[in-house]
Structure 1
């Protein structure tokens, strides 16, 4: 029956995945999955459309940037080195140097004129770092800004640059060329010088341009839209880029195009300017661009999902939370009624709905059950009290009329007759009664060993258990090292009797009595615990203060006897919770009894 009862209790538990909140969670989860699927569909469609639009927008912006680069390069060349002026100033002077018949004075004057012309150009523009003129014989005439150190650029380094780029310059002399100065990392402008009087090219002009002038081209560009731009010279080398470090300066244009086209992740397009003198490279990461500009859409969608789930959860909590709380209150009320706690009943603030009506009916049922249970307990107590009074009256009558030793011997004789007739149960009960009676007669000393007191209590409890076989359960927890400790006689029996009479008798179902003897902090502790009806708080307070006898007979007597033996060197504590348990604990000093000859019949079980 106990196993069936436990299984029924397990069935009463609320299984999480069958609860109302779990169903709400499933509803929210299903709605979120549907919403997420729709969002992913919209996202893929938007991503594809955005990729097409971004590519078209990038082409449009790239054309505009390409035109701006071409116009800026042309403007830099014409503003700093006007074609007619440079040819007029330097064309004839460089042509004269081809004549080896110049005198020393004429050669000095020619150099001074060249220097003056270059100084004038430097002074007119802050964008020029240095100017160099190379004549047909490869002689280099250099003039640089005063802000440059003398060691930064020399004629030899200019000659080396001229030698490397000479093949490009001689191919198409009527154009302006751009390439990178490997020593400074700045762009160099190169142009052929024409002598109008002789109608021939007489040399070349080279000038290093401050890269700050190129920043105006890309100043207002957003790299997320346009990507990275690189400007390559006639030699295929990079001499300026919109983002420093964005392109590898060691790679030629054709190598860069091949590299990115093989990877396929970045769109790489080159555009020629000024008849191929300059190449503009545009690198556009369309994938990253799409991710960057679709992110606000993703954030908005994620926020929408989160807000939707939150609103659904709040709405579900508002709609179903009250119902769920009422259901939990009803379950607690039913649990309290099933466990006998009729006064721990909760009601609803809001009424006039189905669950409130159910809870009210449960409350009425619980109150009616409490009344019936109280009547049943009162009737049972009356009956047991009558039986006990009758038994007690008969016992006292026998005790007062019959000699105790004659009564003990008679019980022994009767026990023999009953045993001969085969009624072992009756024989066992008569034997227990006889042993208990003899123990009472022979225990006349003021003190005894603990094991003798325990055996006497065992005889009493076994007799009670025989009389009430289904209502009493016994537990023992005794340390053997305390068996020979000396205690006052009849110190435990009154306490145990109280547990039987007021713990077991007033309880409907089985009462458990647990007797313990153990050491604690060098002292001996004797405790008697029962899970009977307990003591009401007000009566317990009075009992603890005065040890008044009231209905629990014997506690005051026990305390007085302990005080006579031990003075103040003892402790008697009572702890109880009404309808739960009662615990009486005696703490005594450990005194071992003096060895004496014991009567074996006195302690036998």
Structure 2
């Protein structure tokens, strides 16, 4: 099935010109393959760069999250240590006595804990502010973000991060302390100059932007649930991680333009290389194409302008050493042979015209001969000389079959009739020296054999087998079908000869006629068919012909019984 399909495709290609196939094979096909390879490489490279960017971004997010968490724990520990000081308890339990307040203020300003804070607010158990080290404009406008034991909150109006802790004394809540911190207290990366290509930001549980390296408005919604983040008309790849112990997330945004900048540069470089390779490939392909197409085209042009009168001028000039050169040489040799054949045909036509003239002239001689024989035949009848009359009639029929009838094959029945006519003529000479017996099967009478195949054998039997002083000499002719072949036997009970080997080279049977029979059988029927001679001294000779069983020129071996 596959071989059949391949043959069908080849047949379809044969409907396209060689020029189109060469152009497709040398230019179009390589160009398509190059484009496909370029697209595959581009897609693979883009996916690889995006994957590497995701790995790098994920690693950066994990590092920032870990640093953020460590600083968060440090600040929580510091806040816990601050709240455990006795002066804090005194401040909350003294109802704001001036001396206690003075000592607390001094302690709060000189305390090294809560490094990086920019504000400290103390609330009593009623969540009323009893201390705030902020400026007068900001005092009193800060509320507790939560009533949990310890919690974090980002207040955009104060542009800071606030840590709130409950203060418990003897299992009772006596107040709260709230510390405000700048963004840099958790990681210096959040205070670095922002870059539009790579930004590390913090968002809350509702995906609202809190702070970071981006210049986004506070509270802007960042849709990290999508594959790509679109902010302010720009697309970003993103990686995020939940901060341990908080409901905030660290998000790293990387501009898609920045990520694909390298692959775009590679694409442009590959495009330039591709154009250069394409130009070079087109030049080389054109050279190769013309090296194949031009010689073939020259042969085609030479074939189209063939001129019988001068075939030499149509020969192809090709100095190459490839298969096309060999084809050109064979084409030129063919033209030379055709030129010779044209001359030979012209000579044969001239000879044929001469032969036709000779044949027309020769038709006069047989006509005169047959008229003369007919006159002799009627004279013999008038003189009541029956043997001479029969002999002349037989000779006339024999010559008519020989000279006038040009058919190479005759029926067995017609060939037997020629033999009978020949024997009638021979009896004019030998009289009743021998008798002839015919045993011809009905189913072989219309088999086709070569004309005058039996006469030379009969002639040899009459001339060499029979003796004038012997009686009851018989010539037997038998024809029958045997094993799908036609078998003809011509036997006599004459002198015979000593050599019993199957050969016709015996001196007594070395006539031209016998040799002609064997050669005609071999040339016309092949080595499968033959003539066989068997002879025994004083008993006779049998000549056996094995021929193809043919009727009307077609071999018929069906329904032939073995005899």
Alignment TM-score, normalising by the size of structure 2: 0.38
Larger radius of gyration between Structure 1 and Structure 2: 2
Alignment TM-score, normalising by the size of structure 1: 0.36
